[in-house]
Amino acid sequence: MSARPDPNARVAAERQAYYQAIQSLHLSPLWEQLHALVPMQPATPCVAAHWRYDALRPHLMRAGEIISAAEAVRRVLVLENPGLPGLASITQSLYAGLQLILPGEVAPAHRHTQSALRFVVEGQGAYTAVNGERTTMQPGDFIITPAWTWHDHGSDAGAPVVWLDGLDIPIVRFFDAGFAENASTASQAVTRPEGHNLARYGANMAPLREASPHGATSPIFSYPYARSREALARLQRDGALDAWDGVKLAYINPATGGAPTPTMAAFLQLLPARFEGKPYRQTDGAVFSVVEGHGVAILGEDAAQQRFEFAPRDHFVVPSWQRLQLQAREECVLFSFSDRPVQQATALWREQRLDR
């Protein structure tokens, strides 16, 4: 008895032959990829990850022994998402790294179309300069380098200084819109005294006859920790507690009320001791830097649940649309940043706040 031809196998073979035939014309069948192209909900290769500072710090300090800041240009350990190997990305849209500068060093001046933010993690007394003005770094300070502005870093401190760099590198790469230039001198000339910028724009006031100097980017380039921390402490005392976030404030561009950079939003939040936040998810994956306190970030749910027991100076990343629940053993302060302004400008941003 001979086997009957299988009609399904015949159809499949016919289609495969067809796909082969059109391939050399650079054509491909949409119907084979439609589901993956238009997922029912975000399906990111980005995964949750936790970088413990006590495990990472010795390697960062070792980098300080094997290469100078001048030689490296920027001596940084990239926080590479394990799901995005080799892409210098912590999420699909964002880059993050920890930068080390040692006493007496200079990271030479350059500029690029990528926007950067800094969050000071350890040490004090290093400076960053933007367009002729320096700001001295203190732990917890939030600092911006607007796109296409000259910037260099240096240190007159007595000890190593480490900060978190957040850049929109993958976004600029996606748009193929990257340009960069090196300055002719390593350190730019200081043309304005420190604090000038904060006096002009940081007191809920602004100069009368002058456009904001960096267009859509905040004219403030350093948001000192002491002021942001005091605002959170005051709100906590007043009982302004959110069941998901604790007390959370967004850094703003005072000229627009929007995010401090066109591509990145940044936040600072306080979780009171023994706070047990409700779970939520948002389409903007977020990078967290722990400033104060020990707590737990619970990511995902059921069998896929992960618990990150965090300590000061730890970093962790929450992928897009992943459930997150924050718990504080003692009073905690967390900094975070994400690509929310881009998602809001493109009407993509969503969040879900869950009860349990």
Question: Which residues of this chain interact with ligand 1HN, rule CB under 6 A?
Answer: 74, 76, 97, 99, 116, 151, 153, 165, 167, 169
Smallest gap from residue 175 Cβ to ligand 1HN (A): 16
- Which CB atom, from 74 or from 229, has the smaller least distance to ligand 1HN? 74
Give the bridge partners for 353, in sequence order.
280
Smallest gap from residue 157 Cβ to ligand 1HN (A): 16
DSSP string of 138-204? -TT-EEEE-TT--EEEEE--SS-EEEEEEE-HHHHHHTT---EEE-SSSSPPP-B-TTHHHHHHSSS
Interatomic CA distance for residues 150 and 157, integer angstroms: 22
- Which CB atom, from 56 or from 235, has the smaller least distance to ligand 1HN? 56
- Which CB atom, from 153 or from 248, has the smaller least distance to ligand 1HN? 153
- Which CB atom, from 116 or from 291, has the smaller least distance to ligand 1HN? 116
- Which CB atom, from 97 or from 319, has the smaller least distance to ligand 1HN? 97
Interatomic CA distance for residues 306 and 289, integer angstroms: 18
- Strand 265-271 with 247-250, pairing: antiparallel
Smallest gap from residue 124 Cβ to ligand 1HN (A): 17
Smallest gap from residue 202 Cβ to ligand 1HN (A): 22
Q: How many CA atoms lie within 13 A of 52 on its CB side?
A: 9
Smallest gap from residue 138 Cβ to ligand 1HN (A): 17
- Which CB atom, from 99 or from 228, has the smaller least distance to ligand 1HN? 99
Task: Tell me how far CA of residue 49 lies from CA of 33, 41, 79, 171, 314, in angstroms.
Answer: 29, 21, 9, 21, 11
Smallest gap from residue 183 Cβ to ligand 1HN (A): 12
Smallest gap from residue 107 Cβ to ligand 1HN (A): 6
Enter the tokens of residue 245: 């976030």
- Which CB atom, from 95 or from 223, has the smaller least distance to ligand 1HN? 95
Interatomic CA distance for residues 27 and 224, integer angstroms: 54
- CA proximity to 255, closest of 197, 313, 295: 197
Residues in the chain: 356
